[in-house]
Amino acid sequence: MSRPFLGYTKFVAHTYKESGIDYEAMDKLKNAALNYSGNRQNLIEFPNFYLVDILEGLGSLNKLADTIYQKTQQDYYFQVGWGNAASVLNDLAVTGATPLTIKLFIAAGHANWFKNQDCWQNLIAGFGEAAKFASCSWNGGETQTLPGLIQEDSFILAGSATGIIKPKRQILEEKKIRPGDRIILCESSGIHTNGITFIRKNFPDDLEVYTEAVKNKTLIYLPFINKLLADKVDIHYVSHITGHGWRKLMRPKRPFTYVLEDIPKPQLIFQKIREKSAMDDRQMYADFNMGAGLAIYAPSSSVDRILKIAQSQSVAAFDAGFVEKGPRKVIIKPIHVEFDGADLNIR
Q: Please answer whether residues 214 and 79 qualify as being in contact, where contact means their C-beta atoms are separated by less than 8 angstroms.
A: yes
pLDDT at 249 over 60: yes
Please state which of the four CATH numbers 1.25.40.10, 3.30.1330.10, 3.40.50.1970, 3.30.360.10 is assigned to the domain occupying 40-171: 3.30.1330.10
The CATH 3.30.1330.10 portion of the chain extends over 40-171
Give the angle 332-245-195 at the CA atoms, nearest 5°. 140
The CATH 3.90.650.10 portion of the chain extends over 1-9+172-347
- pLDDT band at residue 20 using 50, 70 and 90 as cut-offs: low
123-151 pLDDT tens trace: 999 999 999 999 999 999 999 999 999 98
Whole-number Å distance between alpha carbons of 324 and 334: 18
Report the length, in residues, of the chain.
Answer: 347
As a whole-number percent, the residues of the chain with pLDDT over 70 amount to 88
254-292 pLDDT tens trace: 999 999 999 999 999 999 999 888 889 999 999 999 999
In the DSSP assignment, the letter for residue 20 is: T
CATH 3.30.390.50 fits 1-9+172-347, yes or no: no
Strand order in the sheet with 329-332: 237-240, 292-298, 182-187, 317-325, 256-260, 329-332, 337-340
Whole-number Å distance between alpha carbons of 289 and 266: 8
pLDDT at 198 over 80: yes
pLDDT at 2 over 60: no
